[in-house]
Homo-oligomer: A and B are copies of this chain.
Amino acid sequence: MQTEDYVPQPVPFVSPPKWHLAHTTWFFEEFILKEYLPGYNVFNPDFSFLFNSYYNNVGKRVLRTNRGAITRPATSKIIEYRHYVDMHMELLLQMKASEPHFHDLIELGLNHEQQHQELLLTDIKYILSCNPISPVYNEEIQWEDQQNESSGFLTIPEGVYGIGFEDVGFCFDNEMGRHKVYLHQFEIANSLVTNAQYLEFINAGGYENFNYWLDEGWSWVNENKINAPLYWHKTDEGWQHFTLSGMQNLNPNAIVTHISFYEASAFAQWKKMRLPTEFEWEVASLQLDWGKRWEWTYSAYLPYPGFCRAEGAIGEYNGKFMINQMVLRGGSCATSAHHTRSTYRNFFHPEERWQFNGIRLVKI
């Protein structure tokens, strides 16, 4: 990484790396230090405005689409900010180690930061891909080469199942409200779709046949001239793809990634199969090998029974996004260790594909 790489926001859904560094720090300052550390002086009063992401309750903030124009504070100043906040967090923990009432917020802040660690990597990948010279982020990262370790299908019998978090430890509010669902019997793949399988779909004219596509997916394909996963390039030497270790030949045995829900759904339709619901996935997950790709489900991101938005800024974390997005389950190569779990609900719009997502099929 060079300092310049920390700055741009090439598309609205990608944030500048320097913004991620500052925003995750801001979370601890805004919600914990200002509240619980007596006599705490904020590092810089402008930062509250600059690095609020979407918390309307916290006050005015920079428009999301303008983040790439904000060059100050410099990255080095943000690193200082991180050290300052880290130091005060340590102080707070020493002073009040036995007081549990803000431990929940610290846990939330850490999980929040882990989410941004993943975004940081996928955003860096996107930013570097905008350079026509295909720079290398890290030679050693070979995530796009990961392969399946299982095959075949798993049968889950009909019945009433429990859904949602009931463990001890941390979970997000969107996983809570343990409740029952009735599932009919289904057969779910033990493996994810591979590049070779996806190439078959491409070569069979998958991107040219409207019958496989949802109507809005078909418009998306045509308006954006989509004909392959994100980062794929057809060259005279065959298919290549941009990775965090630069431009590489496509490995047919690896698991396909960087596909939208629309593409996942079209692929399933072409295979005369379907995507699992998030409930089927959660029930089956205990017997599946997962964690290399976020897996698209055919479930919209909706509240569980009894879900209720918390009061104030913390209540803005999840609930207000419960429209027009699809649930992904599992976790990916870019997810922090121990961050995800069977009940974890990730969500993106159906056209988004810059995450390391994949496809798992269910028989019809």
- Chain A residues close to B by CB (< 8 Å): 2-8, 10, 18, 46, 49-50, 54, 56-57, 62, 66, 68-75, 127-128, 130-133, 135, 160, 179-182, 184, 186, 210-211, 213-218, 261-262, 265, 269, 274, 298-300, 302-303, 305-306, 308-309, 315, 320-324, 350, 364
Smallest beta-carbon distance A310→chain B, Å: 11
Instruction: Please give, as numbers and ranges, the residues of chain B lying within 8 Å of A306 by CB-CB distance.
Output: 184, 364
* A71/B8 contact (C-beta < 8 A), A182-B181, A184-B305, A213-B320 known: yes
Instruction: Please give, as numbers and ranges, the residues of chain B lying within 8 Å of A128 by CB-CB distance.
Output: 71-72
Contact of B3 with A4 in the complex, beta carbons under 8 Å = yes
* A269/B309 contact (C-beta < 8 A), A214-B323, A302-B300 known: yes
- Give the distance in Å from the alpha carbon of A184 to the alpha carbon of B262 in the complex: 32
Residue of B nearest to A209 (CB): B56
Smallest beta-carbon distance A22→chain B, Å: 12
- Give the distance in Å from the alpha carbon of A153 to the alpha carbon of B211 in the complex: 45
Instruction: Please give, as numbers and ranges, the residues of chain B lying within 8 Å of A57 by CB-CB distance.
Output: 211
Smallest beta-carbon distance A72→chain B, Å: 5
- Give the distance in Å from the alpha carbon of A274 to the alpha carbon of B307 in the complex: 10
- A132 contact from B50, B54, B130, Cβ within 8 A: B50
Smallest beta-carbon distance A303→chain B, Å: 7
Contact of B214 with A71 in the complex, beta carbons under 8 Å = no
- Give the distance in Å from the alpha carbon of A359 to the alpha carbon of B335 in the complex: 40
Most chain B CB inside 10 Å of its own CB: which residue of A4, A8, A75, A306: A4
Given contacts A3-B4, A186-B305, 12 further A-B contacts (CB under 8 A): A3-B3, A4-B6, A7-B8, A56-B211, A70-B132, A71-B130, A72-B135, A73-B133, A160-B160, A181-B182, A214-B321, A306-B364
* A181/B181 contact (C-beta < 8 A), A71-B7, A130-B66, A131-B71 known: yes
Contact of A132 with B62 in the complex, beta carbons under 8 Å = yes
Contact of B49 with A132 in the complex, beta carbons under 8 Å = yes
Residue of B nearest to A77 (CB): B2
Contact of A4 with B49 in the complex, beta carbons under 8 Å = no
Residue of B nearest to A321 (CB): B215
- Give the distance in Å from the alpha carbon of A364 to the alpha carbon of B321 in the complex: 19
- Give the distance in Å from the alpha carbon of A298 to the alpha carbon of B6 in the complex: 40
Contact of B72 with A2 in the complex, beta carbons under 8 Å = yes
* A133/B323 contact (C-beta < 8 A), A8-B7, A8-B69, A74-B2 known: no
